[in-house]
């Protein structure tokens, strides 16, 4: 297991380095001059040249890349071209919104999807099992921004029980107010995510219900609940854990849409603002942090699978899987 952890950590760092290099190259291929973010309309060539020198965009690309990479090694994400503030602390301030939004939505989706997916598989021949399956398919097809706007229309504009958007300026100084601000965004993400998770939980449960080991356990006298708890739950959890990791990463990356709908000052909004202003340090910082988060989530999901499935642990240790 120690060798596996070292190997996966090396892979994570290598993937992060490759992603950073690709990101750096792709940003430089985009049209537009980042020096314009510092200047007003009608700037002279001399002013543009001075601005390029100020932000370092007049240096050769390899020198720019190694300078940025050296900063990453020191956990320095650079300074914004526009605000002239360090990008790292600004990202940390935005994560105060994005991380709770992601985790709350993910938790709510799992709490809803696991029992619903199990019932949809267990009673797949009943009308309510078919109904749950149909509703989950419909939920996958509905765009997340449409659900967000629908919830705003109903609960904020008509019933006036929840705010339509925004977040308290003092962040989490008043937890109740902050949670109220996140209520509609969390439900929006959770509805879309749970619709997808229900499908995967249902599929994994159907595989377990039709397995020989479950029928054997029942034939030996185990109750349905006992057989599922002792033999079915772990086998059904292995593929679901992988999907949970993907869904969590997708939710973190997809927060930009929901944050835009609800005007939340999160990481997604910061990325949109950085793209609009050609603020390379902001764009690079947000995407590097997001990439690192996705890689860590994937690492955690892979590790959880090995903790749940002894066959994978045996394979890691060099034995027969």
For residue range 149-195, what is the model confidence (pLDDT) as tens digits? Answer: 899 999 999 998 989 888 888 888 889 999 999 999 999 999 988 98
pLDDT band at 319 (very low <50, low <70, confident <90, very high): very low
3-state secondary structure of 86: strand
**pLDDT digit string (tens) for 245-272?**
888 888 887 777 788 889 899 888 888 8
Q: How far apart are CA 98 and CA 182, in angstroms?
A: 10
pLDDT of residue 244: 85
**Looking at residues 14-37, what average pLDDT do you find?**
80
Is 25's pLDDT higher than 60? yes
Instruction: Check pLDDT > 50 for residue 321.
Output: no
Q: How confident is the model at residue 309 (pLDDT cuts 50, 70, 90)?
A: low
| Residue 1 pLDDT level (bands cut at 50, 70, 90) | low
CA distance 254 to 48: 35
Of residues 255 and 123, which shows the higher confidence score? Answer: 123
Percent of the chain topping pLDDT 70 = 93
Residue 275 has pLDDT above 80, yes or no: yes
Classify 97 in phi/psi space as left (phi over 0), alpha (psi -120 to 50) or beta: alpha
At 218 the pLDDT is 75
| Integer Cα distance of 140 and 191 in angstroms | 9
Read off the pLDDT of each residue in 229-258 and give the average, rounded to a whole number.
79
CB 199 within 8 A of CB 117: yes
> Which class for 51: exposed (0-12), middle (13-18), buried (19 or more C-beta within 10 A)?
buried
Average pLDDT along the chain: 83
Rounded to 10 degrees, the C-alpha dihedral 79/82/85/88 comes to: -50
Instruction: Choose from 51-65, 284-298, 302-316 the range with maximum mean pLDDT.
Output: 284-298
What is the dotted CATH code of the domain comprising 88-311? 1.10.3720.10
pTM of full prediction above 0.75:
yes
Cα angle value 151/162/97 (rounded, 5°): 90
The larger pLDDT score, comparing residue 190 to residue 318, is at: 190
> Which helix (H) or strand (E) segment is 24 a member of?
helix 2-29
**Residue range 42-65, pLDDT digits in tens:** 677 777 788 777 777 777 888 888
Q: Identify the residue with better confidence: 296 or 2.
A: 296
In the chain, ranges of CATH 1.10.3720.10 domains: 88-311
């Amino acid at each position: 297991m120690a060798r596996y952890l070292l190997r996966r950590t090396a892979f994570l760092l290598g993937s992060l380095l490759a992603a950073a290099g690709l990101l750096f190259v792709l940003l430089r291929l985009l049209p537009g001059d980042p020096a314009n973010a510092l200047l007003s309309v009608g700037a002279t060539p001399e002013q543009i040249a001075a601005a390029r020198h100020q932000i370092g965009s007049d240096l050769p690309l390899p020198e720019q890349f190694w300078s940025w990479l050296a900063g990453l090694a020191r956990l320095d994400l650079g300074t914004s071209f526009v605000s002239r503030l360090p990008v790292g602390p600004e990202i940390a301030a935005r994560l105060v919104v994005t991380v709770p939004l992601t985790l709350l939505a993910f938790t709510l989706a799992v709490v809803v999807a696991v029992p619903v997916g199990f019932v949809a598989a267990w009673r797949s021949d009943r009308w309510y099992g078919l109904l749950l399956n149909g509703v989950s398919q419909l939920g996958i097809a509905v765009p997340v921004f449409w659900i967000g706007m629908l919830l705003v229309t109903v609960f904020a504009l008509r019933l006036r029980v929840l705010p339509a958007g925004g977040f308290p300026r003092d962040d989490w100084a008043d937890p109740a107010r902050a949670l109220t601000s996140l209520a509609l965004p969390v439900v929006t993400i959770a509805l879309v995510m749970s619709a997808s998770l229900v499908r995967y939980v249902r599929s994994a449960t159907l595989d377990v219900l039709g397995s020989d080991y479950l029928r054997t356990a029942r034939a030996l006298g185990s109750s349905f609940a006992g057989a599922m708890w002792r033999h079915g739950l772990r086998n059904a959890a292995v593929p679901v854990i992988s999907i949970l990791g993907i869904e969590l990463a997708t939710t973190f990356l997809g927060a930009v849409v929901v944050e835009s709908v609800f005007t939340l000052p999160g990481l997604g909004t910061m990325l949109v603002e950085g793209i609009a202003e050609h603020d390379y340090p902001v764009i690079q910082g947000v995407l590097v942090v997001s990439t690192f988060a996705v890689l860590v989530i994937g690492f955690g999901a892979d590790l959880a699978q090995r903790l749940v499935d002894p066959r994978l642990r045996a394979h890691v240790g060099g034995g027969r899987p």
